[in-house]
């Protein structure tokens, strides 16, 4: 019985911490980040394999990190505008606690992705490709760009549809709060 009560207590603490994290980041939204839809509780995020330069990868490889998944395409003008701000966010926080994961969705050719990144001067983000859009479709991505904030367990905490300045003070405060809250 004692183990059952202990498990119940820890489950309650985890759920409360996740809700507190969501409330905390919701309060940090300003400017473009006001478009960030913060969920009351983390949601399941369906994983799928997609292409990396050296084979297949999935988001499971990022477990333990706070992750910002960005769905984009080479033909998407707002994506071209947004990508340098994602790069700046990766420069500021990328490491063992946080990663920006960029996934080109749909029929994007690898040479065109390379040219896209070269043209906008981005060299620190992954060039992942999901030709079948399985990851996006499985998670209700209906347009581009879409950015999804995942907690360390790979659950969706918030979503932003459309372009945003991910290098803004508000975006940085949200990422810092996610990293710091998840450490405790």
What is the rounded average pLDDT of the residues 3-17? 37
* Maximum distance among all Cα pairs of the chain, rounded to whole angstroms: 62
Give the pTM: 0.86
Domain that holds residue 146: 2-183
Res 14: pLDDT: 37
pLDDT score for 24: 85
Using the predicted structure, report yes or no on whether residue 117 has a pLDDT greater than 90: yes
Q: What is the CATH number of the domain that holds 58?
A: 3.40.30.10
pLDDT at site 86: 98
Average of per-residue pLDDT across 116-144: 96
Provide CB contacts within 8 A for 162, sequence distance 6+: 35, 78, 143, 145
Residue 23's pLDDT is what? Answer: 59
The pLDDT assigned to 181 comes to: 81
Q: 73: closest CA among 139, 130, 125? A: 130
Q: What domain count does the chain have?
A: 1
């Amino acid at each position: 019985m004692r183990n059952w009560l202990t498990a119940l207590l820890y489950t309650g603490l985890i759920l409360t911490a996740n809700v507190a994290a969501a409330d905390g980041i919701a309060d940090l939204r300003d400017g473009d980040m006001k478009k960030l839809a913060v969920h009351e509780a983390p949601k399941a995020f369906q994983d799928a394999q997609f292409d990396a330069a050296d084979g297949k990868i999935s988001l499971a490889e990022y477990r333990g990190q706070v992750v910002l998944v960005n769905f984009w395409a080479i033909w998407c003008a707002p994506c071209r505008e947004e990508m340098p701000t994602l790069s700046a966010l990766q420069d500021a926080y990328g490491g063992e606690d946080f990663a920006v994961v960029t996934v080109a969705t749909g029929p994007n050719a690898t040479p065109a992705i390379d040219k896209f990144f070269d043209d906008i001067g981005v060299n620190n983000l992954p060039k992942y490709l999901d030709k079948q859009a399985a990851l996006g479709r499985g998670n209700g991505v209906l347009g581009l760009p879409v950015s999804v904030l995942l907690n360390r367990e790979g659950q969706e905490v918030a979503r932003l549809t459309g372009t945003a300045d991910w290098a803004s003070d508000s975006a940085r405060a949200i990422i810092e709060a996610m990293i710091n809250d998840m450490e405790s």
